[in-house]
A and B are shown apart, each in its own frame.
Chain A
C-alpha cells in the first residue's frame, strides 16, 4: 500500500509539474513581444561618436564618475562593453576605412524574449508592457547566470560590493522616464538624431523605409528585428554588422528554444522513472530476493557469484 501511495504521489506530482513546465516553456517560445512595446532605432551612419549619450546615461542613472572624461577620444582605442559603472558605451569600428569610422552604441538590447529573464531562477527580471527589461535587485541571489545567458554580453555585476552586489544594466530609463511615456535620456540628448525612440513596430517600418530610400547608405538588414526573437533596440549599419562587433551568428529563435529539449524531457523523467524503477525492483525482488535486501543480505552474499 505504501508503494502504491508513493507511486500515486509521484505521478500526480510529476504530471502537475509537467503541465506547468510545458505550458510555460512552449507558450513563451512564440512570444514576439508586447504589441505596444517601445524601442530605439540606432542609425550608426549618423553617429559621430560624441559620447553625449554615455554622459546622459551616467547622469540619469546616477552612476559613479568615469575614470576618463566623456570627451576623451582615447577610450576608442579599445573595445569596451557595458559594466556596472557604465550602462552604455560607444565603440569605434572601421577606423582605417576611407569612408571614415563607424560608431556603435552598446547597451542592453531589451530582447522580446530575454535570455536573462528565462534563465533567472528567482524571476528577478521583468519584461514590461513598454518593452523595457527591468531587474529586481531585492530578490537577486547573485548567481550571474543571466550574464552567462545574455547573447549581447550586456549585464554588468557589482563585483566590488561585498554586502549588496547586484546586476546593473540599461533599463531603458524605465523608472524615471519610460513609465511616463518619455524617451530614455540617451535618445533625448543625441545631437545627431542617430537614436530614434518610438513603438518598436513603427521603428521597424522606419528602418526599412530608410534602407529603401537610400539603399547605397545601408546594408539591407535591421539588426534586432529578428535576432534571438527580436529586440527593442534596432540597428542600421553602412557595412556588414559583423564588421561592427555584432554577433551575426545568433539564431532568430529566442535563447530559451535551445533549452526546450531539456525542459521537455523533465516531465518524462518525473513520470516514467518511478514506475520504471519500481517495476524493475518488483521484478528483481520476485526472482530471488526478500522484501528487504539488508536483512537477507547475509544469505545473499554466498549465493552471488
Chain B
C-alpha cells in the first residue's frame, strides 16, 4: 500500500472519491484500487505468503478435527480435558480483549475524550478477541452445534460456566453494537450510527458489568477444581479477582501492542490525529496498566499470605511461579514506569509486550501447565492441536487487518452526510484537518494509468 500511495493513490477515507463521485461498496472494499492493483499489492506483501502457508496446512486439519473427532486432533485425555484451544484460545484471548470496556468506560463514562483516538481500536480489539475466543471454543467443544443450548434448551443457572456463556454472548452483542458505529459510517448509514450513539451509555455500562463478571467468572471456573490447580495459581477466595484484575493491564497492553504494530505496518491507514496522539495515548494507557499490574501483584501476594502458601515458593513450581510474576508483571511494571517518566516510548512498548506475555503465561499456567499438578505426567499438545490453534490465530490477524484497512478505526471518516443530519456539528474542523493532512492526493483515473 505504501508504494501505491507514493505513486499518488488517494486513500479511501470518505464516501466520495477525488472526482466527487460516490464510492461504491466494491471500491471501498478494494481500498480504492482496481482488482488487479489490489491483487498486486496483496502478492507483494511477504506476510501474506506466511499466512497462506499457515492456512494451506491448517484449514484441512481444522476441517479434519470435525470429521475425525477430538482424539484425532488434540491430546484430549480424561485427566486433562482442556488443552491449547481453551488454555490459550479462550483463557488468554479473553483477558487480552478487556480493552473494549476499559476504553469505553474511560471515554464515555469518565469523559476522557483525549483517549478517543484509540477508543475504536480498543473496542475492535475487544470484539475480535471475544469473537475468536468463541471460535476456539467451537473447535474445542465436543458438540459445537449445541453451543446455544445453555441459552435456549437447558439451563444450569448455578454453574459459573452458565454465567460465562450468557455474559460472553450478551457482551459480544454489546461490542458488535459499539463497533457498529464505525461500520455504519463506512457503509454510509448515519441513522444507524445515531441510533447506536443514543444508547452508548447503556452499552458502556452493560459492558463494564458483563466484563467484570465474566473476566472474573473465567477465574472462578477453576474454583470448581480445588487441589487440581497448583496452590500458587489457585485461591478459592481470590481466583476471580486475580483473573479480573490481571485482565485490566492485559487489555490495555494489548491495545498498546496492536497500535504499535498497526503504526509500524500500516502507517498509511492512521490519520494525522492517530499518528500525533499515539505516544501520548500510549503513555496514558501504560499508566493505567501500571496501576493494574501493581494491584495484581499485591492481591497475588495477599492470596499467598491468606492461605499461607509461602512454602510452595521454595519448590520447582515456585520458581516457575516467580518467573511468571517477575518476567510477566514485575519487570514490565518497572519498565513501563521508567518509560512513562522518561518518555522513552520504546521501553513503554517493550513493557506492554511483556505484560501481554505475562497474562497469556498466567492463563496457560492455570488452565494447562499447573493443572493436575499432582499427576505424574504433563500434557504436551500434539502438533495438530498446535497447528489448529495457530490457524485460528492467523484468521484473527487476517480479520483484524481486513477491518483496520477499511473501517474508520485508526482514522476519521469524513462524513459529509453529518452536516445535513446534525446541524450543531461544525464541519469546519473536519475540513481543516483534511487540508492540513500531508497525504498526497491524486485522481483515481490517473492512478489506473500507472500500471
Q: Which residues of A contact B (CB under 8 A)?
A: 2-3, 6, 10, 20-21, 24-25, 28, 81-84, 115, 118-124, 136, 139-145, 147-149, 151, 153, 155-162, 164-166, 247, 249-251, 255-256, 258-259, 261-263, 265-266, 269-270, 273-274, 277-278, 280-281, 284-285, 287-289, 292-298, 300-301, 304-305
Taking CB atoms, residues of chain A closer than 8 Å to B422 are 295
Beyond A159-B76, A278-B201: 5 further Cβ-contacts under 8 Å? A263-B160, A269-B213, A288-B111, A293-B107, A295-B422
Contacts of B147 in A (CB 8 A): 141
Q: Tell me if B157 and A24 are in contact (CB < 8 A).
A: yes
Selected from A121, A140, A161, A297, the residue in CB contact (under 8 A) with B161 is: A121
* In the bound complex, CA of A300 to CA of B158 (Å): 46
Q: Count contacts between A and B, CB distance < 8 Å.
A: 220
Closest A-B pairs by Cβ, 3 of them: A142-B142, A144-B81, A159-B71
Bound complex: CA A235 to CA B415 (Å): 74
Q: Which residues of A contact B105 (CB under 8 A)?
A: 277
Stretch of B42-50, B221-229, B322-330 on the interface side: B221-229
Consensus secondary structure, chain B interface: helix
B-chain residues with CB within 8 Å of residue A84 when the two chains form the complex:
78
State the CA gap A281–B228 with chains docked (Å).
Answer: 43
A-B residue pairs in contact (CB < 8 Å), sample of 23: A24-B158, A81-B78, A120-B156, A120-B161, A136-B154, A141-B142, A141-B147, A141-B150, A142-B142, A142-B144, A143-B140, A148-B221, A149-B225, A157-B81, A161-B69, A251-B226, A258-B223, A258-B236, A277-B208, A278-B205, A293-B116, A298-B426, A305-B114
Among candidates B81, B149, B202, B217, residue contacting A141 with C-beta atoms closer than 8 Å: B149
Q: CB-CB < 8 A to B142: which residues of A?
A: 140-144, 157-158, 165-166
Q: A139: shortest Cβ distance to chain B, in Å?
A: 4
Query: Interface size class for chain B?
Result: 35 or more
Task: Give the residue name and chain of the A residue nearest to B212 (CB).
Answer: A269
* Interchain CB contact under 8 A, A119 and B198: no
Q: A255-B224, A293-B107 are in contact. Are A261 and B237 (CB under 8 A)?
A: yes
Interchain CB contact under 8 A, A122 and B202: no
Neighbouring A residues of B59 by C-beta, 8 Å = none
**Distance between B103 CB and nearest chain A CB, rounded to angstroms:** 12
Is the Cβ of B71 less than 8 Å from the Cβ of A149?
no
Complex interface: chain B residues within 8 A of A149 (CB): 224-225
